[in-house]
Amino acid sequence: MVMMGIEFTGTVPFSYVYLHGLIRDSEGRKMSKSLGNVIDPLDTMNEYGTDALRFTLCMGTAGQDINLSTERLTSNKAFTNKLWNAGKFLLQNLPERSDATAWDLLLANKFDTEAALQQLPLPEGWVVTGLHELIDKVSISYEKFYFGDAAREIYDFFWSHFADWYIESSKTRLYHSGDGSATITAQSVLLYVFENILKLLHPFMPFVTEELWQALPYRKDALIVAPWPSTDLPKNLLSIKRFQNLQSLIRGIRNVRAEYSVEPAKRISASVVATVDVLEYISKEKQVLALLSKLDAQNINLTESLPGDANQCVHIVADEGLEAYLPLADMVDVSAEVERLSKRLSKLQTEYDTLLARLSSPSFVEKAPENIVRGVREKASEAEEKISLTKNRLTFLQSTVST
């Protein structure tokens, strides 16, 4: 090919050769008609979408064979749907196309300078900084032909950062703030981050990204000819650390709610205990904390000292210098929970005693297959751990009742 290119055109036709692995079936077997395991790409595209198939193939590790499974295709079809739904959310929450004044304000906001980034509220500064880091990583991965790394980095940022956290946080600005400037800032950040995600994803998923790009108002060119995002943009690393603290606090509260089976719609109170500098930025994002943790915003107490009812609360340590106390009475009927756990403890103890009896029997240990004995030992270890956790929680609840 190189010699023919030089012969007929006078120039070298290409500079790089990319060697990729084979596409195998879900069991790692080479596709063949005799095995009947050939996957028809046209059927696959009809079922899962062309973009999902392309993205799945690109997420493989460079130089290694890819086992093409329905699980991977289904996962990336869900990713495509998530991207589409994020685009719908943006379009529903951006100004009307006819509102030229609002769009002038929106498009005037730029986040490519240190000064502009420092002025952003915490969630906005966090997601824009994350985007700027992503652009650098993905650009390097593309240059090195690490397509799988680039795909995974975009996937993780879009799903775990933008969709799961920033879009949810932005709802406090879009629906509950009553502050026009905060709404404009959130809309600007949503648009800025989303359009750059589309640019990064376009080589992998050209069809859905182009469709979403052209649905956004005031697009002058098609996405395929749009310039690649600039690299080495400013980053606010302090916003990363601070938002991670806020995330840890929210996750801790969510875990406690799940542990005590608190009804999803129920709003509970909380005392957040932290140092002065931590309280300063947490207080500015009180609405985000309330929305994502399902707390009663009117009953979030931010303080430097322990609450008076700390011994009747569930204690959460989110990070050094950041803790929370959730009143038990807000989450459960303590007396009913004590009764439920007492019954659970009795049942667990019975199961544990039965397992110990089997393990103490020489005839079982000596004659039963090794894998069976190992399985019983593992079950006994798990039961012992559950008994310990249940006893600790029961002791804690009983102490609050007596208090």
The pLDDT tens digits for 159-168 are: 999 999 999 9
The answer as to whether 338 is a domain residue is yes
Q: What is the mean pLDDT of the chain?
A: 90
The answer as to whether 244 is a domain residue is yes
Domain that holds residue 6: 1-39
pTM recorded for the entire structure: 0.83
205 and 62, same domain (yes or no): yes
301 and 193, same domain (yes or no): no
pLDDT of residue 402: 54
1 and 121, same domain (yes or no): no
The answer as to whether 44 is a domain residue is no
Instruction: Say if residue 93's pLDDT is above 90.
Output: yes
Among 330, 358, 381, the domain-final residue is: 330
The answer as to whether 49 is a domain residue is no
pLDDT of residue 401: 58
Closest CA to 211 of 78, 110, 83: 83
CA distance 284 to 279: 9
SS3 37: coil
Helix or strand holding residue 379 (H, E):
helix 370-402
131 and 174, same domain (yes or no): yes
Closest CA to 351 of 314, 400, 390: 390
Give tens-digit pLDDT for 172-211: 999 876 778 899 999 999 999 999 999 999 999 999 999 9
104 and 126, same domain (yes or no): yes
193 and 128, same domain (yes or no): yes
277 and 355, same domain (yes or no): no
Percent of the chain surpassing pLDDT 70? 99
Cα–Cα separations (whole angstroms), residue 240 to 124, 226, 248: 10, 29, 12
The answer as to whether 299 is a domain residue is yes
The gap from C-alpha 8 to its chain's centroid, in whole angstroms, comes to: 52
The answer to whether 135 touches 192, Cβ cutoff 8 Å, is: no
The answer as to whether 47 is a domain residue is no
Residues pairing with 326 in the sheet: 314
Cα–Cα separations (whole angstroms), residue 313 to 270, 350, 397: 9, 30, 10
Give tens-digit pLDDT for 112-131: 999 999 999 999 999 999 99
325 and 359, same domain (yes or no): no
Q: Give me the number of domains the chain comprises.
A: 4
Among 166, 201, 235, the domain-final residue is: 235
pLDDT band, very low/low/confident/very high, at 362 (cuts 50, 70, 90): confident
286 and 159, same domain (yes or no): no
CA distance 114 to 111: 8
What string of DSSP letters covers 193-240? HHHHHHHHHTTT-HHHHHHHHHHSTT--S-GGGSPPPPSS----HHHH
218 and 193, same domain (yes or no): yes
Among 206, 235, 264, the domain-final residue is: 235
